[in-house]
Amino acid sequence: MSNQLKKTLGLSAALSTVVGMVIGSGVFFKPQAIYTATNGAPGLGIIAWIVGGIITITAGLTAAEVSAAIPRTGGMMVYIEEIYGQKLGFLTGWMQTVLFFPGTIAALAVIFAQQVAELLGYLPSDMMIVLPVAIGIILFIALLNTVGSSLGGTIQTIATIGKLVPLILIIIFGFIKGNGNPILDPMVGQGKTVAGTLGQVLIATLFAYDGWINVGAIAGEMKNPGKDLPRAIVGGLSVVMAVYIVINIAYLWVAPASELASATAPAALVAQRIFGPVGGKLITIGILISVFGALNGYLLTGPRVPYTLAKQGTLPGSKTFAKLNKGNVPANAIWLLAVLASLYALSGQFNLLTDLTVFTIWVFYVFTFVGVMKLRKDKPQLNRPYKVPLYPIIPLIAITGGLIVIVNQLITATMIALGGIIITLIGIPVYAVTSKNSK
């Protein structure tokens, strides 16, 4: 085969890639949603970080088999198309184009804007400040990405440092200066049950763990994917899980769960307690750099999906969105996501947007996990450089974990779940029209 990716990645490079792709903004902001759901109790929150990590590891190990077996550009959309056919493949890309990517970009922009507002002395709920900043940062990063992809690497490197510094400092000084608060007791607050709350807190932690789907993309560049890919996934995601658990214990060591539930940015609140007002602001700036990097990452990679759909001729306005500009980037596809993200950002809601995107993307993740088993049955002769270990136990854990999240969200947040389903299903009549035109 021609145009093969060069196999240059060893285990250490793959491990750092996994950690870098997953750690983003959720670890700094999601404790608020978690401890609000538990009614100010710490126990189930910590359990959710552990369970979310285990589900994520099994998900990564499972999806990586498909990634390695179908090494084509386009990610999950391509895998689902290969396994289930063109229509479901299109629906995957449609959902990512009109909901997942713009919704996630909007959520990150909103939380970025809320932190800027607080840093400047305004209330994080002041929409007169938050909305212009959120939309402004989306359009600014979109503009940077239309210039060319050369800036992307530099921004990502700075952002990686930006997110690691606050994490390390809060962990070290949190345990030194914190007074100590309950970590596991009680599990949930008054009027809450573990069974009824688990799905809500898992949705929050799974947003923080999101990014694992990209892990399989490195399979084609690994020297020994069969041996090193599972090690990179288990090792890398275990490191992420350990960091998430330790920093959340550090948060609780400094401030009780009931207080974290009322803070827009728990990490910034804890930093202020540890380092004082000036130190707290410096940590907040580090967190802002991390969120900026996450925003850049989504606006750098997300447009590839509508661009791929447009190249197939199945996206409305395909001729426009299939074009590359002078910088050899899909500028029109970038602006499509930026405009949609700006519209979502008008909600001013971080947790609502992330719940919407996590629910919908996990529906398609479960299709991917089931697809691993379907592909083994339908195409046993397919070359698989990597096979999921402990088959079928690992895929079944991933499927079960995904179904728990989906079903719980349908029961406890029905309107959000239905909204995601309706937006996705609009893709069916769109595909019916565009696929005829493309033929």
Could you say which DSSP state residue 9 is in?
B
Per cent of the chain over pLDDT 90 is: 57
Per-residue pLDDT tens over the stretch 116-157: 998 998 888 889 999 999 999 999 999 988 886 556 667 767
* Confidence class for position 51, pLDDT limits 50, 70, 90: very high
Pairwise CA distance, residues 212 & 216, whole Å: 8
Per-residue pLDDT tens over the stretch 15-34: 877 887 788 889 999 999 99
Per-residue pLDDT tens over the stretch 255-314: 999 999 998 889 989 999 999 998 889 888 988 988 998 898 888 888 889 998 999 899
Pairwise CA distance, residues 104 & 206, whole Å: 13
Q: Is 94 exposed, middle or buried (0-12, 13-18, 19+ CB in 10 A)?
A: buried
| Reported pTM | 0.91
Q: Which residues of 163-187 are buried (b: 16+ CB within 10 A; e: fewer)?
A: bbbbbebbbebbeeebeebeeeebb
Task: Decide if pLDDT at 403 tops 90.
Answer: yes
Q: Which residues contact 163 (CB under 8 A, 6 or more apart)?
A: 23, 24, 286, 287, 289, 290, 293
Cα dihedral value 365, 366, 369, 373, nearest 10: -150
Pairwise CA distance, residues 209 & 158, whole Å: 21
Q: Which of 179, 200, 358 is nearest to 274 (CA)?
A: 179
pLDDT at 1: 37
Q: Is 311 exposed, middle or buried (0-12, 13-18, 19+ CB in 10 A)?
A: middle
DSSP string, 281-328: HHHHHHHHHHHHHHHHHHHHHTTHHHHHHHHHT-STTHHHHT---TTS
Average pLDDT, the chain: 89
Residue in the block written with tokens 């779940």: 417
CA distances 50 to 25, 27, 406, Å, are: 18, 13, 18
Q: Which range (2-16, 42-56, 174-188, 219-233) has the least confidence? A: 2-16
* Residue 88 CB neighbour total at 10 angstroms: 18
CA distances 262 to 37, 157, 389, Å, are: 11, 32, 42
Rounded to an integer, the average pLDDT of 158-172 is: 86
Per cent of the chain over pLDDT 70 is: 94
Rounded to an integer, the average pLDDT of 159-175 is: 87
Could you say which DSSP state residue 5 is in?
P
23: which 2 tokens? 């750690």
3-state secondary structure of 222: strand
Domains of the chain: 11-438 (1.20.1740.10)
- Helix ranges, 70-149 (H): 76-84, 86-95, 101-119, 127-147
Q: Which range (79-83, 225-229, 350-354, 418-422) has the least confidence? A: 225-229
Is-cis flag, bond preceding 277, omega within 30?
A: no
In degrees rounded to 5, what are phi and psi of residue 296?
Answer: -60, -40
